[in-house]
Amino acid sequence: MTENKQQLLSEMLMSLIENKKYASLRDAMGTMHAADIAAVLEECKKEQVPLIFRLLPKELAAETFTQMEEDRQALLIQSFSDSELKAVVDELYVDDAVDLVEEMPANVVKRILRQADPEKRKLINEILKYPEDSTGSIMTTEYVRLRPDMTVQDAINHIRKTGINKETINTCYVTDRNRKILGIVTMRQLLFSEENTQIREIMTEEVIFALTTEDREKVSLDFVKYDFSAMPVVDEENRLVGIVTIDDVVDVLQEETTEDIEKMGAIMPLEKPYLKTSAFEIFKSRIPWLFILMISAAFTGMIITRFENALSAQIALVASIPMLMGTGGNCGSQSSVTVIRGLSIGEIEFSDILKVLWKEMRVAVLCGIALAVVNMAKLILLDNLGVMVALVISITLLLDVIVAKIVGCTLPLIADKIGLDPAVMASPFITTIVDAISLLIYFEIAVLMLGIAV
Amino acid sequence: MTENKQQLLSEMLMSLIENKKYASLRDAMGTMHAADIAAVLEECKKEQVPLIFRLLPKELAAETFTQMEEDRQALLIQSFSDSELKAVVDELYVDDAVDLVEEMPANVVKRILRQADPEKRKLINEILKYPEDSTGSIMTTEYVRLRPDMTVQDAINHIRKTGINKETINTCYVTDRNRKILGIVTMRQLLFSEENTQIREIMTEEVIFALTTEDREKVSLDFVKYDFSAMPVVDEENRLVGIVTIDDVVDVLQEETTEDIEKMGAIMPLEKPYLKTSAFEIFKSRIPWLFILMISAAFTGMIITRFENALSAQIALVASIPMLMGTGGNCGSQSSVTVIRGLSIGEIEFSDILKVLWKEMRVAVLCGIALAVVNMAKLILLDNLGVMVALVISITLLLDVIVAKIVGCTLPLIADKIGLDPAVMASPFITTIVDAISLLIYFEIAVLMLGIAV
């Protein structure tokens, strides 16, 4: 339903653009949401973008601007006069302005900072100092600050006077003269209290806050855990310097999950959306892991070469290599994916390693026996293999599953412990290790049970 | 910093529990956040849970209750008297009560519904009617409703009188007598308008809403796209029946992502957190895909058997099987993972299939050539293989990469188009298909170029 409506809107807009009905276009866009207008601006021809953008009312223009992709933003800025640029920058919240400055090339950044008023420029520069993955880099400095000795009525008046440019007025922060945080007060508390009650009497004193230097992913997970909609950020001297709001947290979680998934798929994270990234950029993000994995597969090849004689004697053993390697890889990836996701949403920690191992061992034995029994039956009944050869393959399968699950669950935990990203320890990496181990097991058992000379 | 503080708090609580200092325990918990108390209640001994829970003040008790895992919730409810149960149920928001009812066994559900007051019971039953993945199932019916002819002052008074139990007062919904939605008004708009302005003059009339029957994941993505904090939900007759709030949306996105990642790892999604799930349940969630993949690997085995003669003649060809299969699998999983994630965050759609194919083909050629050249050098210089054999392996590698990337990117798109879950088309599935194809290519080229009889 909403989808159809959006599609209709966007088609209508496109036809207005093509037919140059600019007056109707302005009216139509005035009733639309910034995200939808941004989507239309992504689709239309490059040279039309500045023209259409100029039809938007000031506030909506700024909102639409923040929702656009960086290449179109750059395009727009190039076409702006200084006063047009100033109008947009004035309407941006500080955190959105920072995002913009981080993405634009140096010469554009200079223009943006020159147009920002001195106060805003100072705030932008403050936030730019924080490292990319820190909480400081995603906070905004526009929040409502109250004093503990204000009355509820004072506070509401203060919000009416100063709140218009604040990112949220639903949660307000009570500080002393040195900006040390004393408590928080929500709009709900203000509305449901008597007008002459002092803020200090109604504020919540137990405040959970983040440090500017903390990892933004960790803070985002806390945020979700506590069902917050905003969270204060303090510096090393415990002074309130900004707040993080839920919209930025959701973006961080989406981005971090995408990065995790990319790493789990043996890809170095992309900076831009897939469709906006050039084939060469994508190539560069994928080739390093392919090289590493190809080279490590050479070890598996070496194992096969070592057992060349055994294999020529019993070529039936070769036919099972893909099944053994495949099953080992799948079992390992099941375990590693489970543990990696558990780690990243905070459900599993390194201290759970024994619990995880014990669980995975039992799961491995169950899976291994089930697979080995079915496989044994298939080899004897369908493939007419001898019992001994079938037994070699099935025992290998069982051991393979157990090794794969143990390796699959421990490597991500160890990676996390020693400060590596556990997502890197996902399927492709695990598969390569398990491949080599399972072939070694395979041939050792074959040599032992079938009495083949190496 | 926050982590240490939480750990300290939790350790302090545990020691208070062990030493039976219940008075201090009550004071300490009174200053804590529900999520942290719930974490402590998960860790302590079962028999202590009811005792500690009874020390909590009413509102905090209800909040803590919603943050606990279902097995501990069930334990608590069993220990509750009817009046204790009523006290907790009374404090729950309707959507949290629904979550509880959905998770508890039938006999517990009966007790809960008996203790809920009639109005709440009716609301719970309403929401229970919506299918599990629908927007109706995650909405709450506790929102602030305003009339268009109210003044701002009327509206604020109305909120003060009725808003205390509403899940949010930051966004209010303007409806006519038939509950048809006319617009929305935020607390910010109310505070920054003159007291005697009519609501119809300040409300935003262009409202983006969801249908009760819409897929909750789709609505959640819209929610994030528009940076909403709440979104109205209407029935088929366009009447407002509830709202969805950001906290539930974040939960939905986390859950759906976990499900995607599990499916990508060849696991059927688990109902409960990993550490709370029995080994047998985990076994059941993993074995189906292992069976399917093991059986399909048999086809790869059949291909090898068919080329038995070629392999005994040139056993060096066997040593490269793991590398070829591994690289093909990795290339395919890179492409499929990228496309699956793109689909699930709405960045890629089926209509982009040609763009995606064209991009993947170019990436595949780049990756394939880079890998083939390095591999060729390695085979000749390090492994001392003949040029023809090395060429067979390297050409296969190049074709392998191209096939893998094409299969990897198209299967998820097709799955999405025909209404299957694209996440199922991830690494393990792709790997199995690519394995078979790459072996076929391998042997055909070998037979052709090396003149081996099949």
Question: What is the DSSP pairing of strand B145-146 with strand B171-175?
Answer: parallel
Residue B243 belongs to a domain: yes
Identity of the residue in A300, A312, A431 whose CB atom sits nearest the CB atom of B315: A312
More confident residue, A128 or A176: A176
Query: Into how many domains does chain A fold?
Result: 3
Say whether residue B300 is in contact with chain A using an 8 A CB cutoff. Answer: yes
Do A435 and B378 count as a contact with CB atoms less than 8 A apart?
no
**A357 interface with B at CB cutoff 8 Å:** no
Distances in Å between the Cα of B111 and the Cα atoms of A59, A132, A148, B117, B121 are 52, 51, 45, 12, 12
Does A268 fall in a domain? no
Residue at B166: amino acid letter: K
3-class SS at A33?
coil
Does A9 have pLDDT greater than 90?
no
Residues B287 and B436 in one domain: yes
* Confidence category of residue A422, pLDDT binned at 50, 70, 90: confident
Give the mean pLDDT of A23-34.
Answer: 84
Q: Range with the lowest mean pLDDT among A237-241, B305-309, B444-448?
A: B305-309
- The answer to whether A31 contacts B206, with C-beta atoms less than 8 Å apart, is yes
Q: Which residues of A touch B280 (CB under 8 A)?
A: 366
pLDDT in tens, B116-159: 888 888 888 888 888 888 998 888 888 999 999 999 999 999 99
Q: State the greatest distance between any 2 C-alpha atoms of chain A, in Å, as a whole number.
A: 94
If you write DSSP's letter for every residue of A195-209 in order, what string do you get?
Answer: TT-BHHHHSB-----
Percentage of residues in chain A with pLDDT exceeding 90?
A: 26
Q: Which residue of A has its CA nearest to B208?
A: A2
Tokens of B287: 């074995």
Report yes or no: B95 at the A interface, CB cutoff 8 Å. Answer: no
Q: Which of A325, A427, A428 sits opposite B325 (nearest CB)?
A: A325
| Residue B26 in this model has a pLDDT that exceeds 50 | yes
d(CA A240, CA A140): 11
* pLDDT above 70 (res B423): yes
Of B164, B208, B301, the CB nearest to A2: B208
Whether A354 and chain B come into contact, CB under 8 Å, resolves to no
A-facing residues of B in 195-234 (CB < 8 A) are 205-206, 208-211, 214, 218-219, 222, 224-227, 229
A14 in reach of chain B (CB within 8 A):
no
Question: What is the rounded distance in angstroms from the CA atom of residue B46 to the CA atom of residue B75?
Answer: 8
**pLDDT tops 80 at residue B447:** yes
Q: Do A187 and B169 touch, CB atoms closer than 8 A? A: yes
- Using a CB-CB cut-off of 8 Å, the residues of chain A touching B251 are 224
Instruction: State how far residue A97 is from chain B, nearest Cα, in angstroms.
Output: 16
3-state secondary structure chain B: CHHHHHHHHHHHHHHHHHCCCHHHHHHHHHCCCHHHHHHHHHHCCHHHHHHHHCCCCHHHHHHHHHHCCHHHHHHHHHHCCHHHHHHHHHHCCHHHHHHHHHHCCHHHHHHHHHHCCHHHHHHHHHHHCCCCCEHHHHCECCCCEECCCCEHHHHHHHHHHHHHHCCCCCEEEEECCCCEEEEEEEHHHHHCCCCCCEHHHHCECCCCCEECCCEHHHHHHHHHHCCCCEEEEECCCCEEEEEEEHHHHHHHHHHHHHHHHHHHCCCCCCCCCHHHCCHHHHHHHHHHHHHHHHHHHHHHHHHHHHCHHHHHHCCHHHHCHHHHHHHHHHHHHHHHHHHHHHHHCCCCCHHHHHHHHHHHHHHHHHHHHHHHHHHHHHHHHHCCCCHHHHHHHHHHHHHHHHHHHHHHHHHHHHHHHCCCCHHHHCHHHHHHHHHHHHHHHHHHHHHHHHCCCC
Flag whether residue B289 sits within 8 Å of chain A, measured between CB atoms. Answer: yes
Q: How confident is the model at residue A360 (pLDDT cuts 50, 70, 90)?
A: very high
Asked if A208 and A342 sit in the same domain, the reply is: no
Nearest CA to CA, how far is B117 from chain A (Å)? 24
Which run of H or E residues covers position A144? none
**Distance between terminal CA atoms of chain A?**
68
A330 in contact with chain B, both atoms CB, cutoff 8 A:
yes
Calpha distance B42→B20 (Å, rounded): 18
Confidence band, pLDDT 50/70/90 cuts, at residue B11: confident
Query: Do the Cβ atoms of B326 and A159 come within 8 Å?
Result: no
Task: Name residues whose C-beta falls within 8 Å of residue B52's C-beta, 6 or more positions apart in sequence.
Answer: B17, B25, B29, B40, B41, B44
Residue (of A402, A187, A420, A314) closest to B192 by Cα position: A187
CA A143 to each of CA A164, A257, B168, B385: distance values in angstroms, whole numbers, following the listed order: 10, 28, 20, 69
pLDDT-derived band at A214, boundaries 50, 70, 90: very high
Highest mean predicted confidence (pLDDT) among A128-142, A405-419, B316-330: A405-419
Q: Is B341 exposed, middle or buried (0-12, 13-18, 19+ CB in 10 A)?
A: buried
Which residues of chain B neighbour A291 with C-beta distances below 8 Å?
A: 370-371, 374
Cβ(B377)–Cβ(B393) below 8 Å: no
Whether chain B has a CB inside 8 Å of the CB on A355: the answer is: yes
Task: Looking at the structure, tell me whether residues B313 and B224 fall in a common domain.
Answer: no
Q: Which residues pair with A231 in a beta bridge?
A: A244
Is the CB of B374 inside 8 Å of chain A's CB atoms?
Answer: yes
Using a CB–CB cutoff of 8 Å, tell me whether B8 touches chain A.
no
Q: What does the H/E/C string look like for A320-368?
A: CHHHHHHHHHHHHHHHHHHHHHHHHCCCCCHHHHHHHHHHHHHHHHHHH
The answer to whether residue A137 is domain-embedded is no
Please state at what angle helix A216-225 crosses helix B2-18, rounded to 10 degrees: 40
Tell which wins on pLDDT, B306 or A362: A362
Are both B293 and B222 inside the same structural domain? no
Q: Residue A39 is inside which H or E element, if any?
A: helix A34-43
Tally of CA atoms within 13 A in the half-sphere of B302 that contains its CB: 11
**Which amino acid does the sequence have at B197?**
T
Task: Establish if B312 touches chain A: CB-CB under 8 angstroms.
Answer: yes
Residue ending a domain, among B86, B113, B133, is B133
Model confidence pLDDT, tens digit, residues A50-80: 888 888 888 888 889 888 888 888 888 888 8
Does residue B1 register a pLDDT over 50?
A: no
* DSSP state, residue A382: I
Task: Using the predicted structure, report yes or no on whether residue B163 has a pLDDT greater than 50.
Answer: yes
Alpha carbons B355 and B347: distance in angstroms, whole number: 13
Chain A / chain B CB contacts < 8 angstroms: 334
B293 with B266: CB under 8 angstroms? yes
The span from the CA of B191 to the CA of A190, in Å, is: 12
Average pLDDT of the residues in B66-89: 86
pLDDT at A264: 82
**Which residue, A259, A284, A315, sits at the end of a domain?**
A259
Please check whether residue B385 is in contact with residue B310, taking contact to mean a CB–CB distance below 8 angstroms: no
Q: What whole-number distance in Å separates Cα of residue A255 and Cα of residue A132?
A: 13
Q: Could you give the dihedral angle defined by the CA atoms of residues A320, A321, A325 and A328, in that order, rounded to the nearest 10 degrees?
A: 40
Question: pTM for this structure?
Answer: 0.79
Instruction: Name the residue with higher pLDDT: B1 or A297.
Output: A297
Question: Does B351 contact chain A (CB < 8 Å)?
Answer: no
Q: Which of A391, A410, A400 is nearest to A325 (CA)?
A: A400
Q: Pick from B318, B355, B425, B434 the residue to mutate for testing the A interface (most A CBs within 10 Å).
A: B318
Chain A positions touching B264 (Cβ under 8 A) are: 261, 264, 337
Q: Least CA distance to B215: which residue of chain A?
A: A1
Assess if residue A248 is contained within a domain: yes
Nearest chain A CA: its distance from B246 CA (Å): 8
- Residue B202: pLDDT band (50, 70, 90) is very high
Contact of A210 with A135, CB cutoff 8 Å: yes
Give residues with Cβ within 8 angstroms of B38, minimum separation 6: B64, B67, B68
Least Cα separation, residue A337 to chain B (angstroms): 6
More confident residue, A293 or A242: A242
Half-sphere exposure of B444 (CA within 13 A, CB side): 10
Judged by CB atoms closer than 8 Å, whether chains meet at B304 and A325 is answered as no
Domain membership of residue A87 (yes or no) is: yes
Q: How far is B86 from chain A (nearest CA, A)?
A: 24
Among the candidates A132, A159, A191, a domain finishes at A132
pLDDT band for position B100 (cuts 50, 70, 90): confident
pLDDT tens-place string over residues A321-354: 888 888 888 898 889 888 998 888 888 889 999 9
- B154 and B255 share one domain: yes
User: In angstroms, how far is the first alpha carbon of chain B from the final one?
Assistant: 67
Which of B37, B93, B160, B257 best probes binding to A when mutated, by most A CB atoms within 10 angstroms? Answer: B257
3-state DSSP assignment of residue A185: strand
Show residues of chain B in contact with A336, CB under 8 Å.
265
B344 touches chain A (CB under 8 A): no
For residue B324, the distance in angstroms to the closest alpha carbon of chain A comes to: 8
Which has the closest alpha carbon to B325: B216, B404, B215?
Answer: B404
Q: Are A279 and B359 in contact (CB under 8 A)?
A: yes
Average pLDDT, chain B: 86
Q: Is B157 on the interface with A (CB under 8 A)?
A: no
**Nearest chain B CA: its distance from A386 CA (Å):** 16
> What gap in Å lies between CA A384 and CA A391, rounded to an integer?
13
User: How large is the ipTM?
Assistant: 0.78
B47 and B185 share one domain: no
Whole-angstrom Cα Rg for chain B: 30
Retrieve residue A198's tokens: 């002092």
Averaged over A167-192, what is the pLDDT? 91
CB contact A257 to B (< 8 Å): yes
CATH of the domain at B387: 1.10.357.20
Q: B127 versus A189: which is more confidently predicted?
A: A189
- Among B229, B362, B374, the residue with its CB nearest the CB of A279 is B362
The average pLDDT across A283-302 equals: 82
Residues A324 and A196 occupy one common structural domain: no
Separation between Cα atoms, residue A294 and residue A47, nearest integer Å: 46
B292 within a domain of the structure (yes/no): yes
Structure tokens given for B192: 């920054």
Chain B residues whose CB is inside 8 A of the A190 CB are none
Q: Do A280 and A316 sit in the same domain of this protein?
A: yes
Ramachandran assignment for B234, one of left (phi > 0), alpha (psi -120 to 50 degrees), beta (any other) = beta
B140 assigned to some structural domain: no
Choose among B224, B265, B315: nearest Cβ to A311. Answer: B315
* DSSP-based three-state secondary structure for A165: helix
Residues A23 and A93 in one domain: yes
Quick: pLDDT tens for A106-158.
888 888 888 888 888 888 888 888 888 899 888 888 899 999 999 999 999 99
| CATH number for the domain harbouring residue B17 | 1.25.60.10
Cα separation values, B1 from A136, A142, B6, Å? 14, 24, 9
Of A58-72, A261-275, A390-404, A412-426, give the range with the top mean pLDDT.
Answer: A390-404
Q: Which amino acid belongs to residue A353?
A: I
Do residues B214 and B290 both lie within one domain?
no
The reply to whether B166 and B309 lie within a common domain is no
Query: Could you list the residue range(s) of the whole structural domain that residue B17 is in?
Result: 2-133
Structure tokens at B318: 């066997």
Residues of chain B contacting A297 with CB distance shorter than 8 Å: 322-323, 326-327
Residues of A in contact with B257 (CB under 8 A): 257
B376 token code pair: 């060729």
Residues B235 and B281 occupy one common structural domain: no
Q: What value does the mean pLDDT take over residues A278-298?
A: 84
Among residues A344, A95, A356, A349, the alpha carbon closest in space to that of A224 is found at A344
Considering only alpha carbons, which residue of chain B is nearest residue A30? B206
Q: Give percent above pLDDT 90 in chain B.
A: 25
- Contact check, Cβ <8 Å, A315/B308: yes
* A453/A6 Cα distance (integer angstroms): 71
Residues in chain B: 454
Q: Closest CB to B265: pick one of A32, A160, A337.
A: A337
* pLDDT given at position B325: 85
* Residue A425, CB-side half-sphere exposure with 13 Å CA sphere: 28
B323 to A341: CB separation less than 8 angstroms, yes or no: no
Q: How far is B428 from chain A (nearest CA, A)?
A: 6
- Tell me the percentage of chain B whose pLDDT exceeds 70: 98
> Does the residue A267 lie in any domain?
no
CB-based contact B341 A262, cutoff 8 Å: yes
